[in-house]
């Protein structure tokens, strides 16, 4: 997503001046963006006829909700338990920051744009994905470290997805495009599943000096002679071909 909120001129201060975790967070989520979230969240709450919550929303409460979400990841737990009475789950800092119902309202009403004024290129609608635990949701292509730290992401928007076509097919294009945009150096290794892995991807990545680890679908093996899926099921775990 490109916006003038993220241009270099609008950053709150130089990266070298970052001294605290909060400063670091503000460097990537500047006040201009938070103010935009406040504006659109208030607008959506008004559209949903919720004046009580609309009156509560300001920069501070949005920042506090971000902190709670960061803490939930740090503690690898469900956010709602922070407000429980049990000593082993409640979090005093969170409870003092805001009531649980207010946090639930923030999660429900947070918006980044006016629903009544959609743009032609706003095409990131919920999709139905069969065989997923949650069938309806948004699809986002993500490049992350082995620890789960985000490097780059691109929301999937059908033909309007902002990834260059390298003539490798959709899945391999995603991997190659994210690697190109992230400027990964030679010697890096990328892990992906069978939706993304192909021989063309392996060939192009090897030319960049980047390794790929991934499973490959049988219909992408070209003329490579390997046991069929039925034969592979009968093989022992330690058996190789």
Q: What is the pLDDT of residues 152-172, one digit of tens each?
A: 888 877 767 777 888 888 889
Q: Kindly tell me if the per-residue pLDDT of 130 is higher than 80.
A: no
In this prediction, residue 117 has a pLDDT band, given cuts at 50, 70 and 90, of: confident
Q: What is the pLDDT of residues 3-37, one digit of tens each?
A: 444 344 444 456 677 778 888 888 778 889 999 99
Domain boundaries, the chain: 4-109, 128-233
> Read out DSSP for 38-82?
HHHHHHHHHHTT-HHHHHH--HHHHHHHHHHHHHHHHTTS-GGGG
Spatial contact of 113 and 122, defined as CB atoms under 8 Å apart: yes
The larger pLDDT score, comparing residue 79 to residue 42, is at 42
Tell me how far apart the terminal alpha carbons of the chain are, to the nearest angstrom. 45
Confidence (pLDDT) at 40: 94
User: Cα angle at 150 between 145 and 153, to 5 degrees?
Assistant: 120
Q: What is the pLDDT of residues 49-89, one digit of tens each?
A: 999 999 999 999 999 999 888 877 655 557 788 888 888 78
Q: Kindly tell me if the per-residue pLDDT of 1 is higher than 60.
A: no
In this prediction, residue 123 has a pLDDT band, given cuts at 50, 70 and 90, of: low
Spatial contact of 217 and 239, defined as CB atoms under 8 Å apart: no
Round to whole Å and give the CA distance between 42 and 48: 10
């Amino acid at each position: 997503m490109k916006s003038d909120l993220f241009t270099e001129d609008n950053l709150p201060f130089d990266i070298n001046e970052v001294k605290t975790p909060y400063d670091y967070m503000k460097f990537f989520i500047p006040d201009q963006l938070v103010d935009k979230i406040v504006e659109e969240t208030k607008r959506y709450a008004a559209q949903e006829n919720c004046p009580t919550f609309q009156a509560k929303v300001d920069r501070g409460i949005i920042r506090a909700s971000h902190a709670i979400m960061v803490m939930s990841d740090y503690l690898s737990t469900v956010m709602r338990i922070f407000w429980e009475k049990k000593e082993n789950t409640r979090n005093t800092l969170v409870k003092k920051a805001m009531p649980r119902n207010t946090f639930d309202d923030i999660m429900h009403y947070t918006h980044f744009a006016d629903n009544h004024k959609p743009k032609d290129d706003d095409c990131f609608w919920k999709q139905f994905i069969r065989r997923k635990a949650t069938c309806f949701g948004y699809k986002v292509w993500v490049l992350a470290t082995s620890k789960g730290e985000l490097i780059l992401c691109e929301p999937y928007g059908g033909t309007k997805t902002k990834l260059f076509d390298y003539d490798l097919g959709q899945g391999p294009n995603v991997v190659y495009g994210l690697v190109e945009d992230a400027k990964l150096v030679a010697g890096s290794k990328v892990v992906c599943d069978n939706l993304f892995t192909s021989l063309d991807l392996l060939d192009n990545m090897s030319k960049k000096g980047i390794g790929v680890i991934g499973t490959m679908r049988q219909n992408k093996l070209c003329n490579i002679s390997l046991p069929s899926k039925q034969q592979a099921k009968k093989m022992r775990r330690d058996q190789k071909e």
